[in-house]
């Protein structure tokens, strides 16, 4: 079985719109583990006026989930990061040097709203890089700012961004339009990472194994493994990254 690396999920309880209680959090970790995840970055939202749980409270939940993993003897690496909405909170974290990169690398998971236009997305990519971090753009398939343009996706990569797509989008769970756009991006090898973005066990569950099976058929074993194992492993393992090497795998 391919051992997956999941760089984006909301499985900590009581910290954002993800797991709503401890049992659900443990259930989500069980699901990820039995689907084959062996390294997992938990990424609670940080967003101005919406999700503002401080790191200290998140650390308490993270330690409890670590203890649960140990109690179950899961050979799984858990890392604590955040999903940073591009707003004043991220700006403050960049200025104070308190961002939490993914794993041991220097990439940070950033997200945009439906209202961010393309120029603003590019500005944030540059700002994150200027501060010494590599931006991994969360669920890039969602943003109207890209306007369904492969050229715009390429431009983001040329400007130093890595692009993440959700497993649910690949599998068509987010609607036909998003599924079509996701396929186009994958066909052109413009995606670097596929992650679960799991929030709960029913409505937004982890779908790693189903997604990997689908990808193997559609894009081949090598790119499927790169998207769900090799590229994310490289992101959490090292501070030196070259964008193109991810996409070319
Ligand atoms: Fe997310």
Q: Are 13 and 24 in contact (CB under 8 A)?
A: yes
Output b/e per residue, 99-136; b: 16+ Cβ within 10 A: bbbbbebbbbbbbbeeebebeebbebbebbeebebbbb
- Please, are residues 78 and 65 in contact by the beta-carbon 8 Å criterion? yes
CA distance 108 to 137: 8
Residue of 8, 6, 33, 5 lying closest to 18 (CA atoms): 8
Q: Ligand 1 center to residue 83 CA distance, Å?
A: 6
CA of 131 to the centre of ligand 1 (A): 22
Model pLDDT for residues 108-145, shown as the tens digit of each residue: 999 999 999 999 999 999 999 999 999 999 999 999 99
Helix (H, G, I), strand (E, B), or coil: what is residue 52? coil
Summarize pLDDT for 164-179 with one digit per residue, the tens: 999 999 999 999 999 9
pLDDT attached to residue 248: 42
Give 239's pLDDT tier (boundaries 50, 70, 90).
low
The pocket of ion ligand 1, defined by CB under 5 A, consists of: 83, 197
Go through the domains of the chain in sequence order and give each one's CATH number: 4-248 (3.20.20.140)
Q: Quickly state the pLDDT bin for 238 (edges 50, 70, 90).
A: confident
Question: Could you tell me the distance, in angstroms and rounded to a whole number, from the CA of residue 173 to the centre of ligand 1?
Answer: 15
pLDDT digits (tens, 9 = 90+) for 30-43: 999 999 999 999 99
Residue with tokens 């961010």: 116
Q: How far is the CA of 97 from the centre of ligand 1 (A)?
A: 22
C-alpha of residue 3 to centroid of ligand 1, in Å = 21
Cβ neighbours of 221 (radius 10 Å): 12
CA distances from 199 to 83, 108, 123, 131, 185 (A): 13, 19, 29, 29, 24
Q: Alpha carbon of 33 to those of 40, 74, 116, 172, 174: distances in Å? A: 9, 8, 35, 23, 24
Distance 71 CA to ligand 1 centre (A): 27
Cα gap 128→125, rounded to integer Å: 5
Instruction: Give the distance (Å) from ligand 1 centre to CA of residue 130.
Output: 24
């Amino acid at each position: 079985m391919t051992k997956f690396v999941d760089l984006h999920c909301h499985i900590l309880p009581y910290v954002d719109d993800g797991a709503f209680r401890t049992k659900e959090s443990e259930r989500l970790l069980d699901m990820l583990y039995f689907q084959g995840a062996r390294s997992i970055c938990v990424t609670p939202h940080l967003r101005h006026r919406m999700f503002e749980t401080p790191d200290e409270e998140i650390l308490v939940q993270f330690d409890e989930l670590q203890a649960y993993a140990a109690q179950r003897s899961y050979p799984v690496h858990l890392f604590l990061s955040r999903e940073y909405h591009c707003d004043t909170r991220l700006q403050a974290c960049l200025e104070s040097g308190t961002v939490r990169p993914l794993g041991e690398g220097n990439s940070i998971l950033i997200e945009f709203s439906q209202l961010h236009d393309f120029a603003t997305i590019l500005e944030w990519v540059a700002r994150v890089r200027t501060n010494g971090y590599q931006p991994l753009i969360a669920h890039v398939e969602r943003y109207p700012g890209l306007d369904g343009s492969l050229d715009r996706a390429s431009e983001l990569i040329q400007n130093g961004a890595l692009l993440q797509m959700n497993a649910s989008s690949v599998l068509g769970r987010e609607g036909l339009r998003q599924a079509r756009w996701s396929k186009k991006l994958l066909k052109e090898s413009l995606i670097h990472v596929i992650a679960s973005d799991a929030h709960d066990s029913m409505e937004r569950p982890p779908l790693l194994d189903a997604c990997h099976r689908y990808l193997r058929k559609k894009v081949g074993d090598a790119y499927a493994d790169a998207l769900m194992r090799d590229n994310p492993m490289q992101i959490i393992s090292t501070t030196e990254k070259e964008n193109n090497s991810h996409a070319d795998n």
